[in-house]
Structure 1
């Protein structure tokens, strides 16, 4: 019984990760399946109510556990103190509410794959001003944003923080 309950809990976490993909992709369709798919009718209802669903043109109807990938893994690990400690160690003060601007800058930087020119264009900021903000962010985080491993760790930490907020 305990093992079954743990598997049900993990399935619920995978469903939550799938819901985040549904909302992110603007899709809120779902349905049951025999092959390990995850569907959430409540997400469809919430997304429809919030207007985030494009009428009639859903891209994804359901999600399999393999579809949720890293987000699914992090959802399954949600609540694990070691995972939370990792995110806090990586992001430090960027997690504080008053540092929301730094967190958004970091998120945008990582979404651009570390491409500073592209980021400057996306956020409508001159490159010298952006470089200054990124330098301050690097000092605050204590890592180089040019290092691919640092960017990966920071990205995972941001995903963890996002999962923990839900």
Structure 2
């Protein structure tokens, strides 16, 4: 009987810890605030998946998923910026040299179930970068595929399935750090 209760308790615990990974993000409700609980979870459970850079003068840590280490082919690399002085986190998009000079980037989203549509990335502040990233995340949850357009040429936004998954995981970890999940 004791083993059954332990098993049932363990199952309930695991279900309580599991979050809905398919949940879409309400872009209007995004926030930059972190909590002690979310910071502890990130530092203890997720930080090991990232390369960490400290900028002590600014009071921030930069977290880039290890999948992007030494990668110069990806058009964009997301970085979690954690400001430990203000308990805030931001999502910064680092565009490759080929794309960083462009003020407006056209991203074509295609899927098997929806007609193609376009997302436009405009250089902006952290809120704009987060909104664009969350919109991409939502499209990913719908099975979207992404291509950039430049001079009539289509270039994949993610150079491999591994990069696509690293982008999704980075967004997911960021959203969890800021209390969305």
Instruction: Indicate the TM-score class for this superposition, using the shorter chain for normalisation.
Output: 0.3 to 0.5
Normalising by structure 1, report the TM-score: 0.35
Which protein has the bigger helix share?
A: 1
Which protein has the bigger strand share?
A: 2
Q: Which has the higher contact order (CA 8 A, sep 6+)?
A: 2
